[in-house]
Structure 1
Amino acid sequence: MEPEQAEHLSQLHSRITSWFTRNARPLPWREPDCSPWGVLVSEVMLQQTPVVRVLPVWQEWMQRWPEPAALAAEPSGEAVRAWGRLGYPRRALRLHAAATAIVTEHGGLVPDTHAALLTLPGVGDYTAAAVAAFAFGQRETVVDTNIRRVHARLVTGNALPSQSLTAAEMRLAVSLLPDDDAGSVAWNASVMELGALVCTARNPSCEDCPVLADCAWVRAGRPEPHYVPKGQAWHGTDRQVRGAMMAVLREAEGPVLRDLLLAGPVDLAAGQETVTTPLAALHALSAPQEQLERALNGLVRDGLAELSGDGLRLPA
C-alpha cells in the first residue's frame, strides 16, 4: 500500500471509530463484563432481527441461562419457548445444541478461536468471526449486512452491496481492517454501528456521517441501487402460519390437540384453556387446510415440535 493510501485509510479508521465512541448505543453485550456466552447469544439473536426486539429477550435469556450449562440442562423446547417472537425459531434449537456441545466438548466454556467456534452447531463464518472479535478481542474480518453496505457506498460507490456476499467484498473488508487486534475490533464494531444508525439501507443520514467527504457514493451523486431489493412476504405465507402455531405451543402447558391446530374454531377440550388467545389468532388467519397441515408437518420435521399422542408440543 502506498504511503498516501495508508494515511487515508488511517484517517478513515480514526474518524469512524471516534464517531462510534461518541454515538454507540449502550448495549449490554458490548459491556466489558459481558461473558463470551452472552456475546454468542446476542450474535445468534441478532441475525435478521433488529436490536429493539432482541434486547428484552436477550436480557431474560441471560437471567435464566447465564452460562451454557444452564441452558444445556433444560429441554430444547424451553429454549424455543423463551425465544418468543424473535422469528426463525430454529436459531433457538441451534443455540441449545451449541450450549450442549460447549458443555460436553469444551468444559462449559465458549471456545476462543474462530476454528473452534466453527465446530459448534449452527455457528457459521460470520458468527465465529464476530464472537472471536467481540468476545475475545481477536483480529477477525466481521462482515454483516450493515458493514457491507458502508463498504459499498464508501469505497465502491454502490448504493447497496451485492445481493449475496462475494469474494470481492471479502477482499475489500480484509484490506480495510486495521492491523492490530484492538483497532480491528473497534473498526468492526464502529462500521457495523455506522451502518445501523446512519448509513441505513433506506433514507441514510448522510449529513451525520463522519466520512461524508470520502464517500464514493455521495461523490457519484447518490446513484440508485443496481438492483431492486425484494422484501420478504409475511401475510398469508407458511411462515405466518408456522409462527401462529408456535405461539399456541409456547403458551400451552402440555400437548395441544392436533385437531385444534388444523380445524377452525372449536370448543376447547379440558386442559386447553391456556391457549385460547393464540389459538384464536391462528384461527383468524383462515388458512387453508392444506397450508395448516404443511405448517404443522414442517414444525415437526424441523424439530420445533413433536407429536405426543393426539397432540403436538414443544420438544422435550
Structure 2
Amino acid sequence: MSAVGAAVRAIRAHDGSRCGELPPWCWDGGVNALLDPILRWYDAHARDLPWRRPEASAWSVMVSEFMLQQTPVARVLPVHAAWLERWPSPADLAAETTGEAVRLWGRLGYPRRALRLHAAATAIVADHDGEVPSSYDALRELPGVGDYTASAIAAFAFGQALPVLDTNVRRVHQRVLRGTEFPSDSVRAHERRDAEQLLPDDPATAASWSVAVMELGALVCTARTPACEECPIAGQCSWRAAGYPAYDGPPRRGQAWDGTDRQCRGRIMAVLRGSDEPVHATRIEAVWPDAEQRERCLASLTHDRLVVQVSPTTWALP
C-alpha cells in the first residue's frame, strides 16, 4: 500500500464533530468528504519534486520554501538543484560570502531571499549545531522565516501536524468552503480556523494532506483557469455550486514590470552577477539609461546589502 493509501485509511476515523464553521455537508461524512478524494488524487497526480521525495533533507525542504515564495516551480527546480549541489548543508552555505549566494540565486527574483537564507544558515550553524531545527518556534526565530515557512518546514521535513497556508491552499479552501473565487490578500482568522478543523490529528496524514491540497491548487484549482472537470472534490465545491460567482473584493494587486524599479534593479543585478570583478559604472549605465532611476535603484540595492560600492565608479556583489 502506498504512503498516501495508508494515510487515507488512517483518516477514516477522523472526528467529524470538529467541522465547526465548515459547510453543512461536512457533517454528513465528516471531513473525509475532502480528505479521501484529495489524497487519492495526489497519489495519482503528484509531481516528482526533489524536496517532496521521502529522502529529501530538511535543508532541501527549507531551501525550496525560500525559493518558491512568489516563484514558479519550473524556475526553482534548476536553481534548487545547483544550490544543493554546491551547498548541501547549512554549514556549507554559511561558510560562503553573501555575494555568492546572491550570484547563484540568479534570476529567481526577490534576491533578498538569498540574503535571508544565508542568514538563516548562519544562525542554524551558530545556534543549532548545523541542523535545521524541527520545532515551529525554533524555526520561527531564524532570519527570514515567517509563519508560513516555519509551518511548511515543520510539516514537510519533520511530519508535524501544522496547518500550511500558502496561496494555493488558501484558494482551494476559499472556493470549496466559502464559495468565493479568491481569498483576501492577507490570511484571516477564519482561514486559520478552517485549516485547523480540516487538519487530521495523525501527523503523517496531516503532512500528506497539506501537500496534497497545495498540489491541487497548483495544478487544478488554479487562479486563472481552474480545471474543475478534473477536480476530485468538484461535487463538494461551494464556489462551483454557486455558479462560479466572480470575485467582488478589493482590487487584486498586479505585478507590473516594464519600466519599474524592480526591472531596473534586476538589470543591474544581472550585470554584477555576470562578473567576478567590480563592474564600472559605464557598464551599468549601458543597461539602464534613465540616470535618476538608475541611481535610485543602485542606492536601494546598496541599502538592501545586495551590492557594495567598491570605489566611486565601481560596484560589486557583497
> Do they superpose with TM above 0.5?
yes
1:258 corresponds to? 281
Matched, 1:174 2:235: no
Q: Which amino acid aligns with 2:113?
A: R
- The equivalent of 2:57 in structure 1 is 35
Inter-partner Cα distance in structure 1 for 2:187 and 2:137:
20
The alignment partner of 2:85 has SS state of helix
Shift of 1:5: 1.6
The equivalent of 2:265 in structure 1 is 242
The whole-number CA distance in structure 2 between the counterparts of 1:6 and 1:21 is 25
SS at match of 1:312: strand
Query: Tell me, what secondary structure is at the counterpart of 2:114?
Result: helix
TM (normalized to structure 2)?
0.90
Deviation string, structure 1 residues 62-91 (Cα, Å, up to 9, x no partner): 000000111111101000000000000000
Residue deviations 1:96-145, cap 9 Å, x none? 01111111111000001000001111000000000000000001110000
Shift of 1:7: 2.6
Tell me what 2:106 maps to.
Answer: 84
Residue among 276, 301, 304 paired with 1:302: 304
Aligned mate of 1:161, from 167, 170, 183:
183
The structure-2 alpha-carbon separation of the partners of 1:181 and 1:6, relative to structure 1 and needing over 3 Å to count, comes to farther
Question: Retained in 1: the 8 A contact 2:199–2:206?
Answer: yes
The residue that corresponds to 1:230 in the other structure is 253
- Aligned-pair identity in percent equals 55
For structure 2, the residue ranges without an aligned partner over 5 or more in a row are 1-15, 19-25
Shift of 1:304: 0.2
Q: 1:195 aligns with which of 217, 226, 230?
A: 217
Over 3 Å counting, the alpha-carbon distance change for 1:18 and 1:89 in structure 2 is same
Deviations 1:205-252 (A, max 9, x none): 000000010000000000001234231100000000000000000001
**Residue-pair matches, total:** 294
What residue ranges of structure 1 are gaps of 5+ in the alignment?
Answer: 266-281
Equivalent position to 2:316, from 309, 313, 316: 313
- Give 1:253-292 correspondences, 5 Å limit: 253-261=276-284, 263=285, 265=286, 282-283=287-288, 286=289, 288-292=290-294
Q: CA deviation at 1:259?
A: 4.1
Correspondent of 1:150 among 172, 176, 180? 172
Q: Distance in 1 between matches of 2:315 and 2:173?
A: 47
Does structure 1 conserve the Cα–Cα contact (< 8 Å) formed by 2:17 and 2:30?
A: no
Moved over 3 A (4+): 1-4
SS of the aligned residue for 2:272 comes to helix
Q: How does 1:87-106 map to 2 (within 5 A)?
A: 87-106=109-128
> 1:200 aligns to what SS in structure 2?
coil
Amino acid at match of 1:260: R
